[in-house]
């Protein structure tokens, strides 16, 4: 766990204002609290209902606020009003008070953009005066806009030189451009991309979020979904065998998620679950094969099962007998490939659009087909890469936390 450092996130505005940086800031605030930090959001407009996140409103941080808008309008035209020093000091004092007790301040865009030049000047003063870890997160930069006018002196020149902060930008291309414009080595600028929150994007239930976190599924290379109850006719030992072969023949951290509980109408199903657990242990798959029944004995509600279709890379069905095969239809709606032992109902439902193999070919055939498809299909590759590299929690944990803690990212 990280130290309990206190972090402030600063921007001109925060939600409910709609904008790309505002959305990023809100997600960073939420996920940094989940990583153990105390988070304070400081902005000209901010209303956040996030557990553990403190909101501080300083209205003139928003360049469109009526009090400061005339000053900002003059500054963007290259005119320096007589009241600029007063606003610079007023904002510096307000920000100093708002940052009291903060160990790390993350400044979103205010070091490089001209949306509120008095704010930028005030923060520049604080960066030089107050000892804390300052991080500038540069989503955009006026210095890279060829059409932007460049006026001499402060505050304008503050946006055209690197501040004495830890620099972060959002892409390798932006790093190269900023480094060239500032005349500094590119390795002085860190790259942390924007992330995605799968739970938000797919509207996962709180239960799904909790299960995904407990099982560490965001870090998995491949997730196979078997959305069935635990009964002997589902032949789940074969699904475990497919997982074992797939892990043995690739370098992937492949996982298997079996969503259902033991079937309720046959007491022997619980004994079957114990057999599967012993088999899982003997093959060393305790951390790779997940019976969700072990975490949710009452079984997953339908909406949570649907959530796992949005997380998985493929549906795996190894039944010896099926009357219908609803997971084939659900997989089609979720745009997931289906790999299964060939049974008449599955052939009838899926036809040539699912991957069916005779059971006699064994788990090797299914595992090989899964590997070939996931390696060859560009949509599958992108899906896996987004989940592993761009989900917010692993992104912040591996890239931002080291910078917060004064280390270099791995």
CATH number at residue 187: 3.40.50.2000
Are 155 and 182 contained in the same domain?
yes
Confidence (pTM): 0.85
Strands ordered across the beta sheet of 338-341:
289-291, 254-258, 222-226, 314-317, 338-341, 355-357
Interatomic CA distance for residues 36 and 33, integer angstroms: 5
373 and 395 both lie in a single domain: no
Q: Which domain holds residue 371?
A: 202-389
Residue at 116 is within a domain: yes
**Nearest residue to 138 (alpha-carbon basis) of 189, 72, 80:** 189
1 within domain boundaries? no
**290 part of a folded domain:** yes
Is 183 in the same domain as 206? no
Q: Is residue 145 part of a domain?
A: yes
303 inside domain: yes
Q: How far apart are CA 59 and CA 69, in angstroms?
A: 11
Q: Which residues contact 284 (CB under 8 A, 6 or more apart)?
A: none
| CA–CA distance, 267 with 201 (Å, rounded to integer) | 40
Are residues 183 and 239 located together in one domain of the fold?
Answer: no
Residue 72 forms part of a structural domain: yes
Shared domain for 214 and 180, answered yes or no, is no
Q: CA 245, CA 238: separation in Å to the nearest integer?
A: 10
The verdict on 87 and 214 lying in the same domain is: no
Q: Is it the case that residue 251 has pLDDT exceeding 60?
A: yes
Report yes or no: 217 and 313 within 8 Å, Cβ to Cβ: no
So what's the pLDDT on residue 3?
59
What are 224-237's pLDDT values in tens digits?
999 999 999 999 99
pLDDT digits (tens, 9 = 90+) for 92-104: 999 999 999 999 9
The residues pairing with 106 across neighbouring beta strands, listed in sequence order, are: 9, 135
In a domain, 231, yes or no: yes
pLDDT in tens, 179-209: 999 999 999 999 999 999 999 999 999 999 9
Residues 215 and 179 in one domain: no
Domain count, the chain: 2
> Reduced to 3 states, what is the DSSP secondary structure of residue 53?
strand
Q: Are residues 145 and 157 in the same domain?
A: yes
255 and 300 share one domain: yes
> What pLDDT score was predicted for residue 234?
95
């Amino acid at each position: 766990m990280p130290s309990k450092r206190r972090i402030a996130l600063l921007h001109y505005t925060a939600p409910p204002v709609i904008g790309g940086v505002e959305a990023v800031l809100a997600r960073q605030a939420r996920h940094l609290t989940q990583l153990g930090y105390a988070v304070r959001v400081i902005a000209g407009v901010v209303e956040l209902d996030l557990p553990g996140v403190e909101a501080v409103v300083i209205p003139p941080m928003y360049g469109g606020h009526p009090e400061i808008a005339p000053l900002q309008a003059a500054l963007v035209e290259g005119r320096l009003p007589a009241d600029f020093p007063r606003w610079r000091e007023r904002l510096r004092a307000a920000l100093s008070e708002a940052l009291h007790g903060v160990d790390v301040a993350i400044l979103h865009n205010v070091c490089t953009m001209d949306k509120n030049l008095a704010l930028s000047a005030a923060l520049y003063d604080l960066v030089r005066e107050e000892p804390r870890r300052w991080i500038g997160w540069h989503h955009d930069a006026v210095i890279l806009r060829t059409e932007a006018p460049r006026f001499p002196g402060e505050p304008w020149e503050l946006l055209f030189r690197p501040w004495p902060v830890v620099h972060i930008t959002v892409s390798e291309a932006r790093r190269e451009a900023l480094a060239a414009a500032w005349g500094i080595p590119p390795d002085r600028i860190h790259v942390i991309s924007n992330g995605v929150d799968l739970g938000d994007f797919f509207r996962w239930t709180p239960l799904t979020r909790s299960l995904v976190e407990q099982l560490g599924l965001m870090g998995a290379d491949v997730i196979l979904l078997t959305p069935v109850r635990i009964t002997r006719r589902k032949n789940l030992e074969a699904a475990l065998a497919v997982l074992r072969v797939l892990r043995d023949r690739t370098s992937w951290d492949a996982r298997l998620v079996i969503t259902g509980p033991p079937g309720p109408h046959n007491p022997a199903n619980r004994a079957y679950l114990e057999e599967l657990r012993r088999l899982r242990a003997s093959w060393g798959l305790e951390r790779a094969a997940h019976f969700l029944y072990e975490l949710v004995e009452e079984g997953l509600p339908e909406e949570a099962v649907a959530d796992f279709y949005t997380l998985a890379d493929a549906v795996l069905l190894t039944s010896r007998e099926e009357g219908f095969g609803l997971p084939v239809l659900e997989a089609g709606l979720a745009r997931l490939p289906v790999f299964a032992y060939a049974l008449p109902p599955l052939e009838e439902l899926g036809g040539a659009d699912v991957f069916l193999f005779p059971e006699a070919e064994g788990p090797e055939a299914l595992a090989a087909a899964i590997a070939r498809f996931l390696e060859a299909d560009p949509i599958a590759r992108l899906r896996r890469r987004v989940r592993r590299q761009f989900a917010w929690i692993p992104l912040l944990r591996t890239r931002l936390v080291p910078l917060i803690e004064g280390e270099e990212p791995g």
